[in-house]
Chain A
Amino acid sequence: MADKKDQDSNVNVKINRLVHEPARLKILAYLSVVESADFVFLVSRIGLTMGNLSAHVSKLDKAGYIRVKKEFKDNRPHTMISLTEGGRDAYTQYRKEMLQLLQE
């Protein structure tokens, strides 16, 4: 799960730094409205390079927020990414906290 270093308690609400990073936040946001998506989908939506995206995906995967499934489609490797229950909870929690913070 998320590293303790990633939690910030300077403000009234705790901000999950792992989710707070804009690129990762976008990845979680897009994955939260679909069942699963491939790399091309995330690159075209988020506007990152493949290298950058892979690094963020790897961090989220390590934290247990997403599930990466490698498969073959038309004899070509095809990677599908989906949100785990933990990832959905972390994103929902983050949204709640941010909305609360913005309202304050």
Chain B
Amino acid sequence: MSEIINLKEIKRQVYLHYSEDGLVDLAIGFVIFGFGALLLADVPALIGILGLIPFLIWYLGKQYLTLPRVGSFQPDQETRKRLSGFFIYLFTSGIGVLVLYLIAARSGSYQLSDYSLALFGFVLALAISTLGLLMKTNRMYYYAMLVFLAMAIGETLNKTNDIVDYYLLSVIIAGSIIIFAGIIVLSRFLKKYPVVSLEE
């Protein structure tokens, strides 16, 4: 009875329901993996396409896998306000970090160029962590840590040799691990929630 009365718990369950499908994990994994793979294959011009991957995975996954199993709902006004606030915050902080980075790199007053890839990893990790905070999903923090460590260690290792690109290799490995985790989460979700038939 108390679980039906506890609205906070019901709300948590409703929103958790939608992060259980692993689509966000797969989207992050494919973007990280694609970033490393495209640079390793020396086709940086195609990196712009990576921006489409999360939307494609999200739209197709929700349409064909999630919604037939758990249905759809419109969040309440309070949650909608929180969500739009989060996206505005994410967008402005992203622009802010980029502007600061460009100013610092141009002025040459900071030695940022020495650690630019690790810094990029840090910004990515921050974005993934914020997503984890919003979705209340702890595994996002592990992904964030993995991405940052992969980029920082890869960049450090690259300074000691010129033969292998450790940076891109570690980025590809990190992306593969996140994709693998996403597949596990998705298969658990598909097993737990069968397609709901609207027929009697």
Contacts and interface: CB of A to CB of B under 8 A. Distances in A.
Contacts of A44: 69-71, 193, 196
Given A30-B14, A34-B14, A39 B77 contact: no
Interface in B141-200: 193, 196-200
Contacts of A80: 74
A98 B7 CA distance: 14
Interface residues of A, number: 27
A32 interface: yes
Contact of A33 (B2, B11, B68): B11
B71 A37 contact: yes
Interface string A4-35: 00000000000000000010011001101111
A42 interface: yes
Given A50-B199, A51-B200, A36 B74 contact: yes
B198 A40 contact: yes
Interface in A47-104: 49-51, 80, 95, 98-99, 102
Interface in B98-121: none
Sort chain B's interface into a size bin: 20 to 34
A21 to B, nearest CB: 11
B107 to A, nearest CB: 49
A37 to B, nearest CB: 4
A42 B1 CA distance: 18
A50 B197 contact: yes
A81 to B, nearest CB: 10
B72 interface: yes
A10 to B, nearest CB: 18
The 10 closest A-B CB pairs, nearest first, are: A41-B71, A40-B71, A37-B73, A35-B74, A33-B11, A34-B73, A40-B196, A44-B70, A38-B71, A43-B196
Interface of B: 1-2, 4-5, 7, 10-11, 13-14, 17, 67-77, 80, 193, 196-200
11 contacts: A25-B4, A30-B10, A32-B10, A34-B14, A37-B72, A40-B67, A40-B70, A44-B69, A50-B198, A50-B200, A51-B200
